[in-house]
Structure 1
């Protein structure tokens, strides 16, 4: 059915139809799939490498940045009353009709009001806060859609989460021309926080940081200790021994100076830290988790030196 203006009976413009979604509820009294709980907090902290003691023990709180996690349904979806109104799906369908079939998340903002603790039952309300005017970006032309979610425990607001997407029609891009000259490998971004690491690599030394207060080792290089917060540190040279902790095989997209497929691995050094690098000495489909590897340095073009890891055998 065609949407018309109540005042004149004339069809509403697309902009009017989009703006009409502003302020509409996307979810009312939604219920979190799980209460705040210790195992999810532990998994989050392990993934983030966050060892803050506030997230441990009987008086633990949840990391504030987990705010959205308690409202998500995972692969199996939310069970019970989710409070979805359908307004958000209607908005996206309208944009699909206009050719804005692609979507990318652009940013989020979170405000924390009170700490969440294991056992807290989460409810949430979500509203379509704004739909932008038509915007042209490098990705294409479309609309920024912002939703605001208020997360509560009982009647108490715990935090607010704003999430913004760009729903757009992909821009037409002419076919890429092959490079006219020799293709060089991308250079690492060197700044004041990691310059010492790259200086060591140029000298064929793999250096990691050690906190002078708590002796925690860390990689990648950071300006302060993520275990105790101390800003002072020293360096130690690694032995170069390690194992493949995890890996992926890159098939696409092709990129100048790289020749897919190739393996990119997360290497766990014997010192206990992990770093991302390439595994050499075996075919990409022979890389295995647990495979022993040893550091070596490879030179690319004239001046670029990078640490890589040579496979030393199959996993046990």
Structure 2
């Protein structure tokens, strides 16, 4: 019987346990909730007091082992890392995480968890280098009841060597390489069940804002529940498209093939009162100013991707360059 290939060996780790019957080092407690809220600047009254709930995004915090780690850790994760290290994929970077909340956590809840290696990708080439994406899923329980799921994805990779090859200008859409080469295309937004309606609106050239059916508060970005009153029911209102630059940054580094730095990224306050991050286009990056009136438009980047961006309004300074 032939020996398994390298790809077969790493794929064999899919579905194996990464942690079994882990126990949170502390029950859900008021001091940790308070420290978290102070760090985040979150003053929601739902998170204060003995009978408060913990902010849902603290889900992973209750499972962290600190410097001394946890008991119940499986050897599978270490074995997989050793295998990848041996193949030359010695660097690691976190790429993203996803969380799903099923019930609130409250002071006194005892936390337990199990984790497994959900997927190991095939070999992928990225700007950082070539490697494999590893996704771990953790099921978090309170009193034995599933409270939420945390998915964490990393890239285990071999750093790219040497100077990257010169890329055609990503703003030159007449160059066929920019249309056909995926390395020169914009990164795609992550679309999930919580924000799918927003992107459906973008496809119709509508900028949709969530509105709570309980207290009427508008919110952006989209969330599964109201951060003012906790209501889970919502509808949408269409933004007028008028706004002002509340704050902005000018991106110089790192250079990605799909972008042409320097360019301005603005935090735009819409006339409805919510704020969103987007590119400020149609004006040199060094002419963007706080308080500048801007107007929504939808800009197409390739055959599949169209994004909301903002262009200076009638009273803003006009010009070319530096845009999205």
Residues 194, 220 of structure 1: alpha-carbon distance in 2 compared, 3 angstrom cutoff: farther
| Equivalent pair of 1:23/1:128 in contact (CA under 8 Å) | yes
State the alpha-carbon separation in 2 of the partners of residues 157 and 220 from structure 1: 26
State the alpha-carbon separation in 1 of the partners of residues 299 and 38 from structure 2: 38
State the alpha-carbon separation in 1 of the partners of residues 12 and 296 from structure 2: 57
**TM-score normalised by the chain length of structure 1:** 0.55
Partner of 1:178: 168
Partner of 2:265: 264
**TM-score normalised by the chain length of structure 2:** 0.54
Shift of 1:166: 5.3
Asked if residue 193 in structure 1 is aligned to residue 201 in structure 2, the reply is yes
Shift of 1:274: 0.4
| Equivalent pair of 2:243/2:268 in contact (CA under 8 Å) | no
SS where residue 292 of structure 2 aligns? Answer: strand
Partner of 1:39: 34
Deviations 1:129-182 (A, max 9, x none): 5786x834465876665656464667877556554555455799x946537863
Partner of 1:295: 294
Residues 57, 85 of structure 1: alpha-carbon distance in 2 compared, 3 angstrom cutoff: closer
State the alpha-carbon separation in 1 of the partners of residues 68 and 35 from structure 2: 20
Asked if residue 240 in structure 1 is aligned to residue 243 in structure 2, the reply is yes
Match of 1:249 among 248, 251, 255: 251
Partner of 1:135: 122
Max radius of gyration: which structure?
A: 1
State the alpha-carbon separation in 1 of the partners of residues 71 and 224 from structure 2: 44
| Equivalent pair of 1:295/1:309 in contact (CA under 8 Å) | yes
State the alpha-carbon separation in 2 of the partners of residues 42 and 112 from structure 1: 18
| Equivalent pair of 1:114/1:159 in contact (CA under 8 Å) | yes
Greater alpha carbon shift after TM alignment, 14-23 vs 175-184:
14-23
| Equivalent pair of 2:50/2:107 in contact (CA under 8 Å) | no
| Equivalent pair of 1:250/1:264 in contact (CA under 8 Å) | no
Correspondences of 1:270-309 after superposition (within 5 Å): 271-279=272-280, 284=286, 291-296=290-295, 306-309=309-312
Residues 271, 46 of structure 1: alpha-carbon distance in 2 compared, 3 angstrom cutoff: farther
Residues 81, 154 of structure 1: alpha-carbon distance in 2 compared, 3 angstrom cutoff: farther
Shift of 1:30: 5.8
Match of 2:88 among 99, 105, 112: 99
State the alpha-carbon separation in 2 of the partners of residues 23 and 99 from structure 1: 24
Partner of 1:8: none
| Equivalent pair of 1:209/1:217 in contact (CA under 8 Å) | yes
Shift of 1:99: 1.6
Shift of 1:96: 1.0
Deviations 1:9-38 (A, max 9, x none): xx9997779969955758965625984643
SS where residue 265 of structure 2 aligns? Answer: strand
| Equivalent pair of 2:208/2:236 in contact (CA under 8 Å) | no
State the alpha-carbon separation in 2 of the partners of residues 269 and 176 from structure 1: 38
State the alpha-carbon separation in 2 of the partners of residues 222 and 158 from structure 1: 18
| Equivalent pair of 1:35/1:70 in contact (CA under 8 Å) | no
| Structure 1: 5+ residue stretches without partners | 1-10, 200-205
Match of 1:61 among 39, 53, 56: 53
State the alpha-carbon separation in 2 of the partners of residues 145 and 58 from structure 1: 38
Residues 56, 309 of structure 1: alpha-carbon distance in 2 compared, 3 angstrom cutoff: farther
